[in-house]
A and B are shown apart, each in its own frame.
Chain A
Amino acid sequence: MIKHHPSSKLLAGYATGELPASIAIGVAIHCKMCDQCQANVDALTAQLADQVFDAEITEPMAYENEHFDVAGEADAPMDMDFGNMIAAITADDEISEQSMVRSTSITVKGKNFELPAPLNNVRMSNWLNIGKLSRSSLNLDEGAIHSHLLHIDADGEVPTHTHKGFEITLLLDGSFEDDMGTYHPGDFIELNGEHNHQPKTKEGCLCYTVADDALQFTEGFHKLFNPIGSLLY
Chain B
Amino acid sequence: MKQSTVESTRNKTIAPATKTRPMTTTAKESAPPELSQYLMAVAADRDKQAFAKLFAWFGPKIKRIAAQKLNNDAAGFDITQETMTRVWRKAHLFVPEKGAATTWVYTVMRNVIFDAMRKNKTQQAESLSDDIWPIEEQISEESPFQDHLMTKQLGELVKKLPPNQQEALTAVYYKQLTHEELAKQLNIPVGTVKSRIRLAVTKLKQQLGANND
Contacts and interface: CB of A to CB of B under 8 A. Distances in A.
Interface of A: 16-17, 21, 24-25, 28, 32, 42, 45-46, 48-50, 52-54, 56-64, 66-67, 75-76, 78, 81-82, 85-86, 88-90, 92-101, 117-122, 139-142
Contacts of A117: 131, 134
Contact of A97 (B99, B122, B202): B202
Contact of B124 (A48, A54, A85, A141): A141
A111 to B, nearest CB: 24
Interface string B33-71: 000000000000010100111011111110011000000
B80 to A, nearest CB: 7
A135 B60 CA distance: 46
Interface in B101-137: 102-103, 105-107, 110-111, 113-114, 118, 121-124, 126-137
B96 interface: no
B29 A58 contact: yes
A96 B28 CA distance: 34
B159 interface: no
Interface string B1-44: 00110000100000000000001110011110000000000000
Interface residues of B, number: 76
Given A28-B132, A52-B106, A141-B123, 20 more contacts: A45-B107, A46-B100, A49-B106, A53-B106, A54-B28, A56-B64, A58-B29, A75-B53, A75-B56, A85-B55, A85-B80, A86-B84, A90-B46, A90-B48, A95-B198, A101-B136, A118-B134, A119-B131, A122-B126, A140-B122
A56 B68 CA distance: 12
Interface stretch (B142-150, B164-172, B173-181, B204-212): B204-212
